Amino acid sequence: MIFAPASITCIFSPHISDKPKSSGSIGVGFTINLGVAARESVRTTINKEEWSFSTLNYVIEKVGLEGVEIKSDLPFGCGFGMSGAVALAVAMLGDLPYIKAADLAHEAEVVNLTGLGDIVTQTYGGVVVRKNAACPSLASVEKFCWSENLDFLILGEISTKDTISDDLKRKKIGEAGKIWTKEFLKKPTIENLFVCSNKFAEETGLVEFVKDVVEAVESSGGRAGMVMLGRAVFAINGYEALKEFGEPFKAKIDSCGVRRIRDEKQD
């Protein structure tokens, strides 16, 4: 069984070229100890329900599997890189070498416009700074192994495809993403991650999706930032404030990246 962690993007600068391997995003993100687990099966299910989508189908076809059984800890479309986690876990079930499987998952995300940088972050694990827009085998990254426990709240979805396919919106996000990625690297601390993430969200206008929640956490003495791209928030010391808006949950930064885990079904 393969586990691929969820990926939270804090800052990103998208770049799409005519080649998936040289498409992706510069930016900062991190993985957590929640995600997806996948094993081979005769049919394709997610949390025991028959379900498919373009990115998943792309990988299944490329690796020649009949189907896959997937357990997902988090919802799709809310900024946790779940489409990427599924693509990566399924690609790793095939016979491809590790890095080629990661590149295939990245290609599936780019071709179907469901993500640009998650696969690189999920391949390496931890807090990952993506210094170029590329697939995992060509990516230049800087990794930090932090162990912070964080609070999260999911409010709803934002379409990645709609956001990154709009030329003007992508240009504005791209410029801000490069600036704030560089600012984070000047001082790579958890405190500065919140500072740079919030500045990026403000300059791009994306913060409007979660502004009230971020302000509530910070007025109560915590720190909060927006999960890109979703109506979701990550925070430190924000659990009680987040409860005013929904049902928060806790997770820890995971520094291992995609890996094989024990298949309980076979014990």
What is the tens place of the pLDDT at every residue in 89-103? 999 999 999 999 999
Note the pLDDT tens digit of each residue in 129-186: 999 999 999 999 999 999 999 999 999 998 777 776 777 788 899 999 999 999 999 9
CATH number at residue 182: 3.30.70.890
More confident residue, 167 or 42: 42
Instruction: Using a pLDDT cut of 90, give the percent of the chain over it.
Output: 90
Pair 246, 131 in one domain: no
Pair 51, 183 in one domain: no
pTM exceeding the 0.85 threshold for the entire prediction: yes
When pLDDT is cut at 50, 70 and 90, the band that residue 267 belongs to is very low
User: Where does residue 18 rank: exposed (0-12), middle (13-18), buried (19+ CB within 10 A)?
Assistant: exposed
Pair 130, 9 in one domain: yes
Pair 92, 51 in one domain: yes
- Give the residue from 153, 132, 123 showing the smallest Cα distance to 13: 132
Output the pLDDT for position 257.
96
The alpha carbon of 32 is separated from its chain's Cα centroid by a whole number of angstroms, namely: 9
Pair 168, 135 in one domain: no
CATH number at residue 57: 3.30.230.10
Three-state DSSP at 114 gives coil
Buried-exposed string 223-233: b where 16+ CB fall within 10 A, e elsewhere: bbbbbbbbbbb
Query: Contact 12/196 with Cβ under 8 angstroms?
Result: no
Domain of 201, in residue numbers: 149-251
Pair 168, 131 in one domain: no
Pair 243, 138 in one domain: no
User: What mean pLDDT, rounded, does the chain reach?
Assistant: 95
When pLDDT is cut at 50, 70 and 90, the band that residue 1 belongs to is very high
Identify whether 267 is part of a domain: no
Pair 198, 110 in one domain: no
Q: How many domains does the chain have?
A: 2
Note the pLDDT tens digit of each residue in 238-253: 999 999 999 999 999 9
Q: What is the DSSP letter of 228?
A: B
